[in-house]
């Protein structure tokens, strides 16, 4: 018989601890439930006393961090389910225990179990969430903390659900806008490579047998075909090396700033990037202010949530310019990054005492503008790519036809 230490909750929700003798862990769980307790953590006493070295603990933390990382969609699912359980009247500990015992095989099971254990040890939900920084960002933790202080945790969770739904909706719109153009580009490049590797060499053998001089465009086509056929592997290696180098450069702070600045300057792209960033900025700041987060702290959180580094840097400068802790429209306007219409609307909200309402109106405006810019982007990109593919394929066809006409005219046919 082994001795197991357990921590759990009574039927009234109170924390209970104790020891129990059982043959194995499964038997211990059954016996604890028979006592009328909800088991939360059950460990064998001898195993609990085992000392783990510092190096092992470090490894365990690294593995746990990788294992417990959730995607945005998983966070949305977790938040929705937790909100629904709390709204139904279930206590926080029981709700997390219910999520942890579902055994879906996903990382959300481990995260739910970890949060449940932290709650049982006496931590607040915001403190427990802060131990998973890779999954729950500062925005999430700050809103939960404000909800705990105001006793409105289910309301805050519902607002977080709305926030993550908007993020996923925006991402899906951008992805869907790029699907068709990418298909056209990939098919066009595939057709071009197939022609250069399998079709053009056959014509080259025919033209060489006839021994006539070929037009310049045909000679260029033959040279490109020979280069792709004989040195295709080298071209792939060079492209791979360039991709790796570009990725490494883009991972540096200077590279990110340069690329994000280019995104705000390139035609078609700048409208999508800017409207998405401004909508995200306004919606996130509005959500934080509504939940009682101070404006200085809210700007610090927004700075970390804005994906464009140029705009994030401007948010940081605006935060440093704020002096009275309330007026943010003038500090934002000083940087010349935020549109004047946006700062003017925010200034009106400050004058009327409804900054959150002004931010909500700004967010709706730029969300609508994002939808329009996405339509413009896809409408313009599709014909551009079609023309580009037509030029590539047409160059192959025209070069071969010109050679055929040149040879047939030389033969007097």
Mean per-residue pLDDT, 81-87: 88
Q: Are 272 and 370 in contact (CB under 8 A)?
A: yes
pTM for this prediction? 0.66
Q: Which of 255, 257, 377 is nearest to 307 (CA)?
A: 257
- Can you tell me which residue has the tokens 């909706």? 169
Cβ contact 108:99 at 8 Å: yes
Give 64's pLDDT tier (boundaries 50, 70, 90): very low
**Is the Cα dihedral 79, 85, 91, 96 positive or negative?**
negative
Q: Which domains does the chain have, with CATH numbers?
A: 2-48 (3.10.20), 69-136 (no CATH), 165-263+386-410 (no CATH), 271-373 (1.20.81.30)
109-164 pLDDT, tens digit per residue, is 888 888 888 888 888 888 888 888 888 888 888 888 877 876 778 888 888 888 88
Q: Is the pLDDT of residue 47 over 80?
A: no
More confident residue, 8 or 370: 370
Give the pLDDT of residue 361: 92
Separation between Cα atoms, residue 99 and residue 78, nearest integer Å = 8
For the residues 35-49, what does the mean pLDDT come to? 65
Torsion sign, CA atoms 41, 45, 51, 52: negative
The per-residue pLDDT for range 179-204, each reduced to its tens digit, is 887 888 888 888 888 888 888 888 87
- How do residues 293-305 score in pLDDT, each as one tens digit? 788 888 888 888 8
* C-alpha–C-alpha distance, residues 138 and 303, integer Å: 10
281 alpha-carbon distance from chain centroid:
16
Find the radius of gyration of the CA atoms of the chain: 31
Strand partners for 5: 19, 43
Q: What pLDDT does 401 receive?
A: 85
Which two tokens mark 81?
């389910």
Q: What is the per-residue pLDDT across 260-283, written as a single tens digit (0 to 9) for each?
A: 999 888 888 888 889 988 988 888
Whether 72 shows a pLDDT value over 80: the answer reads: yes
Whole-number Å distance between alpha carbons of 407 and 174: 50
Phi, psi of 328 (to 5 degrees): -120, -10
């Amino acid at each position: 018989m082994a001795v197991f230490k357990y921590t759990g909750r009574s039927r009234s929700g109170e924390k209970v601890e104790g020891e129990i003798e059982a043959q194995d862990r499964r038997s211990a769980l059954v016996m604890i439930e028979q006592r009328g307790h909800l088991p939360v953590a059950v460990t064998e006493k001898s195993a609990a006393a085992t000392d783990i070295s510092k190096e092992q603990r470090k490894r365990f933390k690294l593995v746990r961090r990788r294992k417990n990382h959730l995607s945005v969609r998983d966070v949305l699912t977790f938040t929705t389910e937790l909100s629904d359980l709390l709204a139904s009247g279930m206590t926080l500990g029981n709700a997390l225990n219910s999520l942890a015992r579902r055994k879906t095989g996903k990382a959300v099971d481990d995260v739910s179990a970890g949060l449940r254990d932290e709650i049982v040890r006496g931590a607040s939900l915001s403190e427990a969430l802060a131990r998973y920084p890779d999954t729950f960002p500062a925005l999430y933790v700050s809103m939960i903390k404000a909800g705990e202080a105001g006793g409105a945790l289910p309301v805050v969770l519902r607002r977080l659900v709305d926030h993550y739904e908007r993020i996923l909706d925006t991402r899906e719109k951008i992805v869907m806008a790029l699907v068709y153009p990418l298909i056209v580009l990939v098919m066009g490049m595939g057709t071009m490579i197939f022609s250069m590797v399998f079709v053009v060499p056959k014509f080259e053998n025919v033209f060489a047998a006839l021994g006539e001089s070929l037009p310049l465009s045909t000679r260029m086509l033959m040279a490109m075909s020979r280069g792709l056929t004989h040195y295709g592997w080298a071209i792939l290696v060079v492209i791979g090396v360039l991709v790796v180098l570009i990725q490494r450069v883009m991972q540096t702070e200077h590279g990110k700033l340069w690329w994000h600045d280019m995104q705000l300057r390139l035609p078609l792209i700048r409208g999508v990037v800017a409207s998405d960033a401004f909508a995200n900025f306004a919606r996130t700041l509005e959500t934080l202010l509504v939940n009682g987060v101070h404006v200085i702290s809210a700007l610090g959180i927004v700075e970390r949530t804005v994906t464009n580094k140029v705009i994030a840097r401007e948010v940081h400068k605006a935060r440093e310019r704020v002096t009275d802790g309330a007026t943010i429209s003038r500090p934002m306007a000083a940087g010349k990054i935020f549109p004047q219409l946006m700062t003017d609307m925010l200034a009106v909200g400050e004058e009327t005492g409804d900054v959150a309402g002004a931010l909500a109106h700004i967010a709706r405006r730029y969300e609508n503008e994002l939808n329009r810019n996405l339509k413009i982007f896809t409408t313009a990109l599709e014909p551009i790519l079609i023309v580009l593919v037509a030029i590539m394929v047409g160059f192959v066809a025209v070069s071969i036809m010109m050679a055929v006409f040149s040879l047939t005219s030389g033969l007097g046919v």
